[in-house]
Chains A and B, each alone.
Chain A
Amino acid sequence: MINKDLSVEFLGVHFENPFCLSSSPVGNCYDMCKKAYDTGWGGVVFKTIGPKHFLIDEVSPRFDALTKEGTPFVGFKNMEQIAEHPLEENLADVKRLKEEYPNKVLIASIMGTNEEDWTELARLVEEAGADMIEMNLSCPQMTSHAMGSDVGSNPDLCRKYCAAVKRGSKLPMIAKMTPNIMDMVPVAKACLEGGADGISCINTIKSVVNVDLDRKIGLPIINGKSSISGYSGKAVKPVALRFIQQLRMGEGLHDLAISGIGGIETWEDAAEFILLGATTLQVTTAIMQYGYRVVEDMKNGLMHYMEEQGVDRLQDLVGLANANIIPAEELDRDYIVYPEINYDVCINCGRCYVSCYDGAHQAMEWDKENRKVRCNKEKCVGCHLCALVCPVKAISKGEVVLKPGRPGNPADKKV
C-alpha cells in the first residue's frame, strides 16, 4: 500500500493530512469526532458553537436531496442551524478530544450575535484547548438576521466581528464565507483587516431543491410550509472552486490561506481544491451520505496522485492551477480544434448527431443506412458538445486549424 506524507502546515498548525470534517452534524459531539479521528481524518471543525442566550430550536424533518437518474445525491439541502448541544457540553467535548488526540487538529467553529458574544466564545474555545477558530459568518438559515450569511455579506460587520474574536483569543483564525454574494473579495479583505488569518470557503448556497407537486410546497415540508435554505454536496463544487479562484486572484491575495469546502467526495475533488489554492479541505455531505470511511480513498488516491506527479510535499501542489484560469477576454480565440471520431470505438448510437443538430451547429451528419456519423468541417465550430455526450468516449480533439487571417502555428496550440 502506498504511503506518502500528506501533512500540511496551515497557519502555523500541523495537520497530519488536509482532510477535516466541516462544521456540521458530522462533528457534533465527542463520539463522532473520535470515530472520525480513528478513521483517519486529520482534523475536525466542530459543529458551530453559539452563545448561551441564543436558543436553538430545529425543525423536523430538515433535509432534502436533488437526484438525477441513478445518482442519489446530486446536491443536498439542509435547514439546520448551529449546535443543539448546550455550550458547556460542547466545550467539554472539545477539551476531552484535544486531551485524547493531541496530534489531531481541532478547530472550533463559533458564531455570536454581537461583539461581546464573539469575544467571549473565542476566549472559551481557546480555554477548552482548540487549535484554531473558524468564524461562521455564513449559515444561510439562521432565525436571526444578526447571525449567519446576512452578516457574512456585510464587510463592515465582518471586520468588526473578526476584531472582536481576536480580542478574545490569540489562536489562528479563519473566517467562513457565504457563497450567497456576487463578489467574495471585499468581504474576505474586510475579514483579514479585522484580524482573520485565513478564509474557509464555501458554506451552503441558498436554495429550493424540490417542490411537492400535489401539495405545492417546497421540500422538506414542515407543517405545510418550507423555507429557502442551504445547498451542499457535489453540485456545489463548481461554485466553491470559482470562489476560491476569485479569492486567490484578488489583489494582494495570491497567497491567501484557504480551507476549501463544497462537494468534496473523491481524491480528485480534493486535488482540484488544492490546485486552486486550498491547503486544507473540509467535508460534510459526502460523510452524511457515505460515512467517515470516504476519507480512506481520498487519502490513498491523493497519495497516488502525488506519486504520479512526482511530488513529495502536498503543499507543493497548492495553487498550481491558479495561473491557468484567466479572464475570458484573455483566452486565445484564433483557432478551432475539430472533433476526431474513432470509428473502432464508436457504437453508432447517434447521440453526437442529435446533440450537434439540436444543441450546436448541425455539423454531424448521419448516414441512416449504415448508422454512421461524419463531421462536416464546413459547419463544425469545434465546440466539442459531441465529445461530451458520447457514451464511449470515441470523440477526441483532432485537427487544429487557424481561423482565417489569424497569426500563429496550429502545432503550437496546447489544445
Chain B
Amino acid sequence: MTKKYAEEIEQAYTVITVMEEAQRCLLCHDAPCSESCPAGTDPGKFIRSVRFRNFKGAAETIRENNALGGICARVCPTERYCQKACSRCGIDRPIDIGGIQRFVTDFEARANMHILRKGEAIGKKIAVVGSGPSGLQAAASLLQMGYEVDIYDKNAKAGGYLRYGIPQYRLPNEVVDKEIEHIAELGAQFKLGVTVGKDVTMDELKAKYDAVLLAIGFSAPKVLPMFEGSEIVETAVSFLARVKESKGEVELPQNIVVIGGGDVAMDVVTTLKVLGVKNVTDVVYEEFHEFLASKKELRGAQELGVTIIDGYIPAEFADHTVTFKHRHIDSVLKIKTDKVILAVGQKAEAENLGVELVKNEVTFDGYKTPDAKVFVTGDIAHGDKTVVYAVRKGKEAAAAIHESLGGNK
C-alpha cells in the first residue's frame, strides 16, 4: 500500500517519448503558452530547446525563470494556465507542457547541473518568514541579486505545503529537497522551528534586517465548531502532513468520512484510497455542477472508488455519527464513522506580525505594506492561490524589495 503512495502516479517521459511530444509542439511565434505561464517559465522556449535536442539549455530556461521548476512541473494546474492557451488545442489536444517540464528538470538533476548563480554581494540582508513556494522563490530571486537571505519557518523542515500538504504520489519530498538544496547553495540560511511573532518578534527582525518578507501562507486549518475537541476528528492538512512525513506508514480505520470538496479534499480521499482504506465517503457542500476541485482530481478519486455525495451540510455530530442535511431538498443523511477528516479550508495565522488581513488576504494590491520595511507575498497577497502564482508573487515581491532598497543604485 505504502509503495503505491510513495511512487509518482504520473509516468515520466523518456528521451524518445519526450521528443515525440516536443515534436507535436507547433513552435508558435509569440508562443501563447509562454504568455500564459503566471511565473514566466517560458514553455515556448524550453520546448523548442527540447525539439532541437538541447536539454541543458531547456533546463536553464526553466530554472532561471522559476526556481521551483521541477515542483511546478508536477503540481501546476496547467489546464488552467499554459496548456489552456496552447495553439495545438485548435488541432487536437494541448502539448503536455507539465510532462515535458518534468522531463527537463529530471534531466537537470541527473546531469547534476547547478544553474542558478549567487549575485555579487550588495551588503543587504532580508528576512523571509515562511518557506513555502513564495518565500523560497523570493529568496532565490533576492540571492541572485546579491542579498543575504535568512528564511524563518515554524516547521521543522522547509517547504510549506510543498512538503506538508501535497501528497507524495503527486510531489515526492525528494523533489522538494532538491529544489530547496539549489536555493541553499545560493547561500540561503534556514532558521527552522522558529515562529515569528512568538520565538522572535517582528521588531527584532526589523532591527536586524533591511527588509522582512511575510510569506506565511494559509498555515492553519479551519475547523467547524461542532467538530472541535473530538478525538476521531482530524483536519485535512494535519492528516496529509502526517502521512507524508511517515511515507505512508499510518494506522487507519476502514470507514472514514471526509467533509469538503476542493482539491485538498480530493488529495485526502485519494490518499486514503491509495493507502487501502475500504470505505471512504466524501460529503460535499457544493453540488457537482459547482464543484471546486478540478475535474481531473475528481475523476481520479471516483475511479479509485470514493463515494462522493454532493449538496449536504453537516448539521450534527455525536457518538461517531455525523448528521447531514441537504442544502435544497428535505433530506437527512446519517453516517456512522470511525474517523472524520475535515477539508473545509485553511486560513492565515498572522498573530503579532503587524499586518491586517481580511478574509486571509492583505487589504492592498501588490507587495508593500504600510510599514516601509515589511513586504508580503504568497497566498496572503492578492491573486490565485496556487504554487505557480506563489512563484510569480515571490519574484515580484523580490523585485519590489529591491526597488524599495534603492535597486542597483
Using a CB–CB cutoff of 8 Å, the interface residues on chain A facing chain B are 1-2, 70-71, 265-268, 290-291, 293-294, 296-298, 300-301, 304, 391-393
CB<8 Å pairs between A and B, sample of 27? A2-B56, A70-B23, A265-B52, A266-B54, A267-B53, A268-B53, A290-B27, A291-B29, A293-B48, A296-B48, A296-B57, A297-B48, A297-B49, A297-B52, A297-B57, A298-B52, A300-B49, A300-B54, A300-B56, A300-B57, A301-B49, A301-B57, A304-B57, A391-B16, A392-B16, A393-B14, A393-B16
Q: Per a CB cutoff under 8 Å, which of B14, B23, B52 touches A301?
A: B52
State whether A304 touches B16 (Cβ < 8 A). no
Chain A contacts for B64, CB-based, 8 A:
1
Report which residue of B14, B16, B49, B57 has the largest number of chain A beta carbons within 10 angstroms of its beta carbon: B57
CA distance A29 to B143 in the complex (A): 45
CA distance A231 to B14 in the complex (A): 33
Answer whether A392 and B49 are a contact pair too, CB < 8 Å, given A300-B60, A304-B56.
Answer: no
Chain A contacts for B16, CB-based, 8 A:
391-393
3 A-B pairs with the lowest CB-CB distances in the bound complex, closest first: A301-B54, A300-B57, A297-B54
CA distance A8 to B39 in the complex (A): 37
State whether B57 touches A294 (Cβ < 8 A). no
State whether B57 touches A266 (Cβ < 8 A). no
Answer whether A304 and B54 are a contact pair too, CB < 8 Å, given A297-B49, A391-B16, A393-B16.
Answer: yes
Report which residue of A70, A293, A304, A393 has the largest number of chain B beta carbons within 10 angstroms of its beta carbon: A304
Answer whether A267 and B54 are a contact pair too, CB < 8 Å, given A293-B48, A297-B49, A391-B16.
Answer: yes
Chain A contacts for B115, CB-based, 8 A:
1
Chain B contacts for A304, CB-based, 8 A:
54, 56-57
State whether B48 touches A392 (Cβ < 8 A). no
Q: How far is the CB of A309 from chain B (nearest CB, A)?
A: 13
A-B CB contacts (within 8 Å), total count: 50
Q: How far is the CB of A347 from chain B (nearest CB, A)?
A: 11
Q: For chain B residues 111-127, which have a beta carbon within 8 Å of chain A? A: 115
Answer whether A301 and B48 are a contact pair too, CB < 8 Å, given A2-B60, A391-B16.
Answer: no
Chain A contacts for B57, CB-based, 8 A:
296-297, 300-301, 304
Answer whether A294 and B56 are a contact pair too, CB < 8 Å, given A391-B16, A392-B16, A393-B16.
Answer: no
Q: How far is the CB of B393 from chain A (nearest CB, A)?
A: 24
CA distance A58 to B29 in the complex (A): 29
Supplied contacts A297-B54, A301-B53, 15 more A-B pairs, CB within 8 Å: A71-B23, A266-B52, A267-B52, A267-B53, A267-B54, A290-B27, A293-B48, A297-B49, A297-B53, A298-B54, A300-B56, A300-B60, A301-B54, A304-B56, A393-B16
Q: For chain B residues 43-60, which have a beta carbon within 8 Å of chain A? A: 48-49, 52-54, 56-57, 60
CA distance A296 to B27 in the complex (A): 14
Answer whether A392 and B14 are a contact pair too, CB < 8 Å, given A1-B64, A297-B57.
Answer: yes
Q: How far is the CB of A378 from chain B (nearest CB, A)?
A: 31
State whether B27 touches A266 (Cβ < 8 A). no
CA distance A290 to B44 in the complex (A): 13
State the main secondary structure of chain B at its contact with A: helix
**A294 nearest in chain B by CB position:** B52
Using a CB–CB cutoff of 8 Å, the interface residues on chain B facing chain A are 14, 16, 20, 23, 27, 29, 48-49, 52-54, 56-57, 60, 64, 115
Chain B contacts for A265, CB-based, 8 A:
52
CA distance A294 to B48 in the complex (A): 9
**B59 nearest in chain A by CB position:** A304
CA distance A291 to B31 in the complex (A): 14
State whether B56 touches A266 (Cβ < 8 A). no
CA distance A293 to B49 in the complex (A): 10
Report which residue of A268, A296, A392 has the largest number of chain B beta carbons within 10 angstroms of its beta carbon: A296
CA distance A296 to B298 in the complex (A): 42
CA distance A23 to B39 in the complex (A): 40
Answer whether A301 and B56 are a contact pair too, CB < 8 Å, given A1-B64, A392-B14, A392-B16.
Answer: yes
**A302 nearest in chain B by CB position:** B54
CA distance A154 to B114 in the complex (A): 54
Chain B contacts for A70, CB-based, 8 A:
20, 23
Chain B contacts for A291, CB-based, 8 A:
29
Chain A contacts for B48, CB-based, 8 A:
293, 296-297
**B60 nearest in chain A by CB position:** A1
Q: How far is the CB of A270 from chain B (nearest CB, A)?
A: 11
CA distance A268 to B64 in the complex (A): 24
Q: How far is the CB of B322 from chain A (nearest CB, A)?
A: 48
Chain B contacts for A297, CB-based, 8 A:
48-49, 52-54, 57
Chain B contacts for A267, CB-based, 8 A:
52-54
**A345 nearest in chain B by CB position:** B14
Q: How far is the CB of A29 from chain B (nearest CB, A)?
A: 20
Chain A contacts for B27, CB-based, 8 A:
290
CA distance A300 to B59 in the complex (A): 11
CA distance A64 to B57 in the complex (A): 32
State whether B53 touches A266 (Cβ < 8 A). yes
Chain B contacts for A268, CB-based, 8 A:
53
CA distance A94 to B75 in the complex (A): 52
**A301 nearest in chain B by CB position:** B54
CA distance A290 to B27 in the complex (A): 8
**B64 nearest in chain A by CB position:** A1
Chain B contacts for A293, CB-based, 8 A:
48
CA distance A297 to B56 in the complex (A): 10
Q: How far is the CB of A13 from chain B (nearest CB, A)?
A: 27
Chain B contacts for A391, CB-based, 8 A:
16
Chain A contacts for B20, CB-based, 8 A:
70
**A286 nearest in chain B by CB position:** B52
Chain B contacts for A392, CB-based, 8 A:
14, 16
Q: How far is the CB of B117 from chain A (nearest CB, A)?
A: 9
Chain A contacts for B29, CB-based, 8 A:
291
CA distance A265 to B23 in the complex (A): 14
**A289 nearest in chain B by CB position:** B27
CA distance A120 to B14 in the complex (A): 57
Chain B contacts for A300, CB-based, 8 A:
49, 54, 56-57, 60
**B53 nearest in chain A by CB position:** A266
Chain A contacts for B49, CB-based, 8 A:
296-297, 300-301
Report which residue of B14, B56, B60, B64 has the largest number of chain A beta carbons within 10 angstroms of its beta carbon: B56
Chain B contacts for A1, CB-based, 8 A:
60, 64, 115
Chain A contacts for B14, CB-based, 8 A:
392-393
CA distance A268 to B56 in the complex (A): 13
CA distance A393 to B27 in the complex (A): 27
Q: How far is the CB of A390 from chain B (nearest CB, A)?
A: 10
Report which residue of B23, B52, B60 has the largest number of chain A beta carbons within 10 angstroms of its beta carbon: B52
CA distance A388 to B60 in the complex (A): 31
Q: How far is the CB of B399 from chain A (nearest CB, A)?
A: 19
CA distance A1 to B23 in the complex (A): 24
CA distance A391 to B29 in the complex (A): 32
CA distance A297 to B51 in the complex (A): 10
CA distance A291 to B14 in the complex (A): 27
